[in-house]
């Protein structure tokens, strides 16, 4: 490339895409919040003031302390402690870690499976398409939570009891992915059917490119835009489903709690006046989901040429 | 046509019927019949080497379907396609590579024919890569640069993406890709109908130059008779999946026989403003799923009679030197009908 | 309202798009008049600003586009600064519009009869039965066979050509004085195109409506228009009687454009071509916008934008004619 041509990075910075991002204050804040929560969760072992899972450091003397600013609060425990003397802030940091991990991993699996099914269905059509899409119809006709409950119930039933805690994360990811891949599949199938008929794909067929090669090199890059939008919005949804499942007691165990588990556990103390144990994890969940959703909304608009 | 040597491309009894039936469940429950759209319904044509054969007709006449059948994008329902005598009838696009390399295609929509996520360089090099024509990337780069300059662009343009170019430039890129595998035969499916006239002139001139320099044979698909007149040595006028008149372009334009050819010639807007207040011909193209019996053109034809409504006319030699599928022409009933004469064009003589 | 004088006067009209890199001028100070009953063809290549001119006159410009300057007078009154509500009323009653894709002008959920009757009743003081009668007359006028039967059909039951006829009927419901037709035949086959143009021409003559016919097709202009405005890069390069512009173009751009159209009956082996392509809105050259592609360009072409000068019965914006014409 010649020296005076602007670099790809400079071109990207100058693009309408980045411009619309910089101009939308809501999106900027949402991104900032999301990134902070993700960073905090990632760095939990280093920035958390306490290790909520190290039983040795827990002291019942510190139990049920209110937040630091309230009467009777302890500056060591910024957001207070629960009935076992666990620091709520630390528990939230570690809990976000689990929630985000479940979210990202389940989105990843759902995306890979959904995109693959969508590409194959849309490109080849016919019987394959009919079978895949009827399966998708069936999946869509059940409420997501119901399917997730069902799947996690079945897996739990199939596994020996002592494995439940270790398998909880995998079960959650599986349950969420199996209920959300349909959205990717349907969207990608639709776009693939459009792209398949485009003349650039015909040109590739004329030079003898294989179907697999056309799908990966030509079609996939052109159908990923909407997939990114769904992935972002589904990340928020996956975190919520995880929280719901954990809240219902079929998700992460209290020994390795996610935000949902924290809310469930805290919920039991709400009426005894210990509000901080449930309120702060709930707030974190709301803020995280809201922020990710706002990013998804912006992404959808920014990638939609009709709204430019 | 009295081609002495073997034609480069020939088609015999070519048919393509699309199944447009409602889904199985609807057919069973609502007792709907199977429906077939006869896009191409029995087509014979031969394209002599080094010439341009144009198929012309209104939308839905099946001309684009023929283009896609020839290169193997569609599998024919019946009939055969041969390239230099090799039967390609049931071979898909790109197969066998040794022959498909020699037949490429230029598309209609310059905005859809180039993958927006690929650099121009990679787009043009795709046939080179897929047919394994060059040993390394460096020779590929050189070849892409040469091709870009051949179609009137800058060899540096390869590093850019398609969206950085205008419609005309994109069509040049599309042409560069089509000729990169050194083909003998190009199928051009409405290559200028999405372009402005001044750009159309550039592209048509370029295509003629390339034909001369590279000895190309074109199958040229268009709805624009003036463009076809400029480009062609031979033409075939299509109506509802069949050729109704075919022959050397000069003859067909100078002495159109079939009433449909006359209609088409009569309705094109005339920039010489000579015929401003003429009465336009009435009627529309019928639905190809349920074409009229007999000659498909009879409902719009001023010369139709009972035979036209019941018996399908075959292509026969007409006195003009063309071949016409029309009972009225064969019976000489057209003699006192209006014949729109067009001055002949010596430059269009096929060699 | 003056009895004589132009129906529509456009003076120094500009259409501007506000972008984050500043305003882009898509139509740049164009002026023309339209007499009652006249058919003015506005022709140009994609991006020349021809459709925007029509859109600006109908008051249908959408953000980020806006009128950046100049005046539009209809029957002597300014309409470029009317409040949207008044403009909407004017648009139905006095100014009709026909667009390229008839499907966008028709509501797929209602029968064409219902749409016609509603439009007629909005603008004319007629009862239901009378309005239906009028709708039937209109459908017959635009050449739809068996209107009594077709009036209760939905738009999808019509072919493209028939749909465009319905749209013409819809545009002529209230007997407008001006019809803006934006590429009305581009989506149609040539044989249908000729029919539609004939209907448009006949009806506008009978109803006494003037037409602004926006098209990229010189053939359509030559067949239909009384006068032609040739646009390039948002400016009028040449305007004049159709016969003059088509047969004896004066502006080098019009000349090149006409030469690039293949004509049956000529034996040329090569078409005249204008090198390059129309500049993008972001880099319209200084001076005459056409000068980088112009075979007759001189040094001063890059410096001064030529103003339209009277040449023959029309006007041409080119330095070649700055000396007072030939």
Q: What is the CATH number of the domain that holds B260?
A: 3.40.50.300
What is the average pLDDT across C214-227?
A: 90
What is the average pLDDT across A183-208?
A: 95
**Subunits adjacent to chain C (3 or more Cβ pairs under 8 Å):** B
Inside any domain, residue B115? no
Nearest chain C CA: its distance from B153 CA (Å): 11
For the stretch B194-213, pLDDT in tens is 899 889 999 999 999 999 99
Average pLDDT of chain B? Answer: 87
pLDDT of residue B286: 81
Domains in chain C, number:
1
Nearest chain B CA: its distance from A192 CA (Å): 14
Q: Cβ of C270 and B284 within 8 Å?
A: no
pLDDT of residue B273: 67
DSSP code for B281: P
For the stretch C107-161, pLDDT in tens is 999 999 999 999 899 888 889 999 999 999 999 988 888 899 999 999 999 888 8
Domain, as residue range, for B341: 9-102+183-348
Q: Confidence class of residue A255 from pLDDT cuts 50, 70 and 90?
A: confident
For the stretch A11-55, pLDDT in tens is 777 777 788 888 888 999 999 999 999 999 999 888 888 787 777
d(CA A270, CA B132): 71
**CATH number, domain with residue C118:** 3.40.50.300
d(CA A280, CA A257): 14
C76 close to C33: Cβ distance less than 8 angstroms = no
d(CA A117, CA A140): 15
Share of chain A above pLDDT 70, in %: 95
d(CA B56, CA B268): 13
Query: Counting every residue, how long is chain A?
Result: 308
Q: Cβ of C260 and B201 within 8 Å?
A: yes
| pLDDT at B154 exceeding the cut of 80 | yes
B93 close to B317: Cβ distance less than 8 angstroms = no
Distances in Å between the Cα of B107 and the Cα atoms of A296, B119, B129, B221, C134 are 37, 18, 20, 10, 46
Name the residue facing B73 among A2, A5, A205 (closest C-beta): A205
d(CA B199, CA C277): 7
| pLDDT at C270 exceeding the cut of 80 | yes
What is the average pLDDT across B328-336?
A: 76
Nearest chain A CA: its distance from B20 CA (Å): 14
Q: Cβ of B126 and A221 within 8 Å?
A: no
Q: C167 exposed, middle or buried (CB, 10 Å; 0-12, 13-18, 19+)?
A: buried
B325 close to B313: Cβ distance less than 8 angstroms = yes
Inside any domain, residue C223? yes
Query: Six-digit token pair at A206?
Result: 């004329």
Q: Cβ of C271 and B230 within 8 Å?
A: yes
What is the average pLDDT across C225-253?
A: 93
Average pLDDT of chain C? Answer: 89
For the stretch B298-309, pLDDT in tens is 988 888 889 999
Q: Confidence class of residue B276 from pLDDT cuts 50, 70 and 90?
A: low
Report which secondary-structure segment, H or E, holds C165: helix C160-172
For the stretch C33-55, pLDDT in tens is 999 999 999 999 888 999 999 99
In this complex, how many residue pairs, one in chain B and one in chain C, have their CB atoms less than 8 Å apart? 132
d(CA A231, CA B81): 47
For the stretch B73-116, pLDDT in tens is 999 999 999 999 899 998 999 889 999 999 999 999 999 999 99
Inside any domain, residue B122? no
pLDDT of residue A5: 52
Domain, as residue range, for C35: 8-262+272-279
State chain B's maximal CA–CA distance in angstroms: 68
Domains in chain B, number:
1
Among B219, B259, B288, B233, smallest CA distance to B62 is for B288
Q: Cβ of A207 and B127 within 8 Å?
A: yes
Question: How would you write chain C as a 3-class SS string?
Answer: CCCCCCCEEEEEEEEEEEECCEEEEEEEEEEEEECCCCEEEEECCCCCCHHHHHHHHHCCCCCCEEEEEEEEEECCEECCCCCHHHHHHHHHHCEEEECCCHHHHCCCCCCHHHHHHHHHHHHCCCCHHHHHHHHHHHHHHCCCCCHHHHCCCCHHHCCHHHHHHHHHHHHHCCCCCEEEEECCCCCCCHHHHHHHHHHHHHHHHHHCCEEEEEECCHHHHHHHCCEEEEEECCEEEEEEEHHHHHHCCCCHHHHHHHHCCCCCCCCCCCCCCCCCCCCCHHHCCCCCCCHHHCCCCCHHHHCCCCCCEEECCEEECCHHHCCCCC
d(CA B55, CA B261): 12
Q: Cβ of A203 and B126 within 8 Å?
A: yes
| C-alpha radius of gyration, chain C, whole number | 21
> What is the DSSP secondary-structure string of A213-246?
HIIIIIIHHHHHHHHHHHHHHHHHHHHHHHHHHH
Among B187, B207, B216, B192, smallest CA distance to B105 is for B187
What is the average pLDDT across C221-238?
A: 93
pLDDT of residue A6: 57
| pLDDT at B339 exceeding the cut of 70 | no
pLDDT of residue A277: 85
pLDDT of residue B335: 56
d(CA B66, CA B69): 5
Q: Confidence class of residue A72 from pLDDT cuts 50, 70 and 90?
A: confident
pLDDT of residue A306: 53
Q: Thinking of the domain A19-53+78-307, which architecture would CATH place it in? A: Orthogonal Bundle (1.10)
pLDDT of residue A303: 80
Name the residue facing B198 among C193, C246, C257 (closest C-beta): C257
Q: Cβ of C222 and B270 within 8 Å?
A: yes
Q: Beta C65-74 vs C8-19: how paired, if at all?
A: antiparallel
Scanning A198-227 for CB atoms below 8 A from B yields 198-200, 202-209, 218, 221-222
| pLDDT at B3 exceeding the cut of 50 | no
Among B103, B110, B66, B64, smallest CA distance to B203 is for B110
Which ipTM value was assigned to this complex?
0.88
Share of chain C above pLDDT 70, in %: 98
| pLDDT at C305 exceeding the cut of 50 | yes
State chain A's maximal CA–CA distance in angstroms: 77
For the stretch A270-289, pLDDT in tens is 888 788 888 899 999 999 99
Within 10 A of B71 (CB to CB), how many other CB atoms are there?
A: 25
Within 10 A of C121 (CB to CB), how many other CB atoms are there?
A: 18
Query: Six-digit token pair at C113?
Result: 């009869």
d(CA B216, CA A253): 73
Q: B44 exposed, middle or buried (CB, 10 Å; 0-12, 13-18, 19+)?
A: middle
Beta bridge partners of C77: C74
Intra-chain end-to-end CA distance of chain C, in Å: 37
């Amino acid at each position: 490339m010649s020296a005076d041509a602007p670099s790809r990075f400079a071109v990207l910075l100058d693009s309408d895409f980045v411009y619309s991002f910089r101009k939308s204050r809501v999106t900027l804040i949402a991104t900032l919040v999301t990134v902070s929560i993700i960073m905090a969760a990632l760095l939990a072992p280093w920035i958390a003031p306490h290790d909520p899972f190290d039983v040795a450091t827990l002291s019942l003397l510190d139990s049920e302390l209110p937040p630091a600013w309230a009467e009777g609060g302890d500056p060591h425990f910024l957001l207070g402690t629960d009935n076992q003397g666990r620091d709520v802030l630390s528990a939230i940091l570690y809990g976000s870690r689990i929630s985000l991990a479940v979210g990202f991993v389940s989105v990843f699996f759902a995306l890979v499976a959904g995109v693959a099914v969508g590409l194959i269905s849309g490109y080849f059509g016919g019987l394959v398409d009919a079978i895949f899409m009827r399966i998708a119809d069936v999946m869509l006709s059940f409420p997501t939570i119901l399917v997730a409950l069902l799947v996690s119930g079945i897996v739990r039933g199939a596994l020996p009891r002592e494995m439940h805690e270790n398998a909880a994360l995998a079960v959650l990811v599986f349950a969420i992915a199996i209920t959300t891949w349909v959205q990717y599949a349907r969207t990608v199938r639709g776009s693939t059917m459009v792209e398949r008929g485009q003349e650039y794909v015909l040109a590739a067929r004329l030079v003898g490119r294989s179907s697999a090669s056309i799908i990966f090199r030509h079609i996939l890059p052109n159908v990923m835009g909407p997939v990114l939008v769904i992935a972002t919005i589904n990340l928020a949804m996956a975190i919520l489903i995880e929280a719901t499942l954990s809240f219902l007691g079929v998700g992460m165990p209290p020994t390795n709690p996610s935000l949902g588990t924290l809310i469930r556990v805290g919920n039991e103390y709400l009426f005894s006046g210990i509000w901080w144990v449930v309120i702060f994890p709930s707030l974190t969940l709301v803020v995280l989901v809201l922020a990710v959703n706002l990013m998804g909304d912006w992404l959808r608009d920014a990638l939609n040429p009709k709204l430019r | 046509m009295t081609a002495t040597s073997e034609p480069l491309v020939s088609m015999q009894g070519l048919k393509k019927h699309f199944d447009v039936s409602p889904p199985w469940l609807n057919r069973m429950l609502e007792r709907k019949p199977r429906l077939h759209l006869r896009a191409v319904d029995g087509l014979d044509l031969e394209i002599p080497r080094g010439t341009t054969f144009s198929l012309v007709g209104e939308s839905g006449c099946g001309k684009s379907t023929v283009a896609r059948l020839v290169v193997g994008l569609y599998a024919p329902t019946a009939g055969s396609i041969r390239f230099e005598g090799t039967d390609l009838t049931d071979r898909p696009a790109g197969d066998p590579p040794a022959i498909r390399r020699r037949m490429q295609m230029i598309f209609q929509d310059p905005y859809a024919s180039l993958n927006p996520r690929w650099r121009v360089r990679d787009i043009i090099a795709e046939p080179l890569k897929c047919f394994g024509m060059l040993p390394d990337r460096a020779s590929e780069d050189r070849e892409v640069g040469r091709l870009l300059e051949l179609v009137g662009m800058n060899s540096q343009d390869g590093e850019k993406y398609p969206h950085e170019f205008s419609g005309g430039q994109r069509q040049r890129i599309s042409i560069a890709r089509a000729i990169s595998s050194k083909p003998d035969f190009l199928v051009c499916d409405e290559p200028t109908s999405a372009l402005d006239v001044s750009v159309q002139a550039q592209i048509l001139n370029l295509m003629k130059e390339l034909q001369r320099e590279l000895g190309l044979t074109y199958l040229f698909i268009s709805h624009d008779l003036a463009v076809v007149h400029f480009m062609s040595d031979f033409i075939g006028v299509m109506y509802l999946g069949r050729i109704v008149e075919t022959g050397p372009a000069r003859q067909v334009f100078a002495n159109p026989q079939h009433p449909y050819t006359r209609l088409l010639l009569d309705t094109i807007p005339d920039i010489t403003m000579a015929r401003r207040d003429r009465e336009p011909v009435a009627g529309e193209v019928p639905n190809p799923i349920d074409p009229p019996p007999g000659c498909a053109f009879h409902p719009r034809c001023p010369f139709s009679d009972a035979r036209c409504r019941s018996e399908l006319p075959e292509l026969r030699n007409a006195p003009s030197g063309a071949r016409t599928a029309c009972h009225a022409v064969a019976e000489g009933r057209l003699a006192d009908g209006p014949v729109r004469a067009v001055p002949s064009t010596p430059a269009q003589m096929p060699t | 309202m003056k009895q004589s004088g132009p129906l529509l006067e456009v003076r120094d009209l500009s259409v501007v798009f506000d972008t984050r890199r500043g305003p882009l001028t898509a139509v740049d100070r164009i002026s023309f008049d339209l007499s009652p009953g006249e058919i003015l063809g506005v022709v140009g290549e994609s991006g020349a600003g021809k459709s925007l001119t029509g859109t600006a006159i109908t008051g249908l410009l959408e953000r980020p586009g806006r009128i950046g300057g100049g005046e539009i007078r209809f029957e002597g009154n300014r309409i470029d600064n009317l409040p949207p509500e008044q403009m909407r009323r004017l648009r139905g009653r006095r100014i009709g519009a026909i667009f390229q894709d008839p499907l966008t002008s028709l509501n797929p959920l209602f029968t064409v009869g219902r749409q016609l009757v509603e439009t007629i009743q909005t603008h004319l003081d007629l009862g239901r039965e009378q309005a239906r009668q009028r709708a039937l007359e209109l459908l017959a006028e635009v050449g739809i066979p068996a209107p009594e039967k077709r009036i209760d059909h939905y738009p999808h039951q019509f072919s493209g050509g028939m749909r465009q006829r319905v749209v013409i009927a819809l545009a002529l419901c209230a007997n407008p004085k001006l019809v803006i037709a934006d590429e009305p035949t581009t989506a149609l086959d040539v044989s249908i195109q000729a029919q539609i143009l004939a209907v448009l021409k006949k009806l506008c003559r009978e109803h006494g409506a003037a037409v602004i016919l926006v098209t990229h097709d010189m053939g359509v202009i030559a067949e239909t228009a009384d006068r032609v405005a040739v646009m390039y890069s948002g400016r009028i390069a040449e305007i004049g009687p159709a016969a003059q512009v088509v047969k004896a173009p004066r502006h080098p751009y019009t000349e090149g454009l006409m030469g690039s159209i293949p004509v049956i009956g000529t034996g040329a082996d090569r078409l005249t071509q204008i090198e390059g392509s129309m500049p993008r809105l972001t880099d319209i050259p200084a001076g005459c916008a056409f000068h980088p592609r112009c075979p007759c360009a001189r040094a001063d072409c890059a410096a001064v934008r030529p103003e339209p000068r009277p040449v023959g019965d029309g006007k041409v914006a080119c330095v070649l004619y700055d000396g007072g014409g030939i």
